[in-house]
């Protein structure tokens, strides 16, 4: 019985490590490339818009959410981005004169290999 539990635990840990591997690697590359901090222009209150995106394809709470969150936050015109793994939901505050939900969907779906994450529902 203990052997079965041990093998199951090792298998689950192994799957978690393997499933998040490509996201962590892309995060490392992005960190090395962007050593200089970009100062963003403040957004006029009248131009701030918030949208929520339901995302499929996230497999881990650390690698997936942080990678998507970082890509969104680095995008021009984005004031704040948060990703909730449990709800599979990204919420983004952005300058509506610079970004729109369609372009933010493209950012999300372009993360990692471009095939992993898909936006299935958008609410503005």
Q: What is the 3-state secondary structure (H, E, C) of 61-80?
A: CCHHHHHHHHHHHHCCCEEE
Q: What is the pLDDT of residue 47?
A: 87
Separation of alpha carbons 120 and 54, rounded Å: 6
CATH number of the 2-123 domain = 3.30.70.100
CA 15 to chain centre: 20
Q: What is the pLDDT of residue 119?
A: 94
Q: What is the pLDDT of residue 113?
A: 85
What is the full per-residue pLDDT of the chain (124 aa) written as tens digits?
Answer: 688 878 877 777 766 655 654 444 444 444 455 445 556 778 788 889 999 999 999 998 889 999 999 999 999 999 999 999 999 999 999 999 999 999 999 999 999 888 899 999 999 8
Q: Considering all CA atoms of the chain, what is the largest pairwise distance in Å, rounded to the nearest integer? A: 62
Report residue 73 as tokens. Answer: 């936050």
């Amino acid at each position: 019985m203990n052997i079965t539990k041990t093998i199951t635990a090792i298998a689950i840990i192994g799957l978690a490590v393997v499933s998040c591997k490509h996201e962590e690697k892309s995060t490392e590359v992005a960190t090395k490339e962007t050593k200089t901090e970009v100062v963003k222009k403040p957004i006029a209150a009248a131009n701030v818009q918030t949208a929520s995106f339901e995302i499929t394809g996230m497999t881990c709470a650390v690698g997936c959410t942080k990678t998507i969150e970082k890509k969104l936050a680095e995008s021009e015109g984005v004031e704040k981005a948060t990703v909730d793994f449990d709800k599979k939901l990204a919420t983004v505050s952005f300058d509506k004169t610079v970004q729109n939900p369609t372009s933010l969907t493209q950012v999300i779906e372009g993360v990692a290999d471009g095939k992993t994450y898909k936006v299935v529902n958008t609410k503005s």
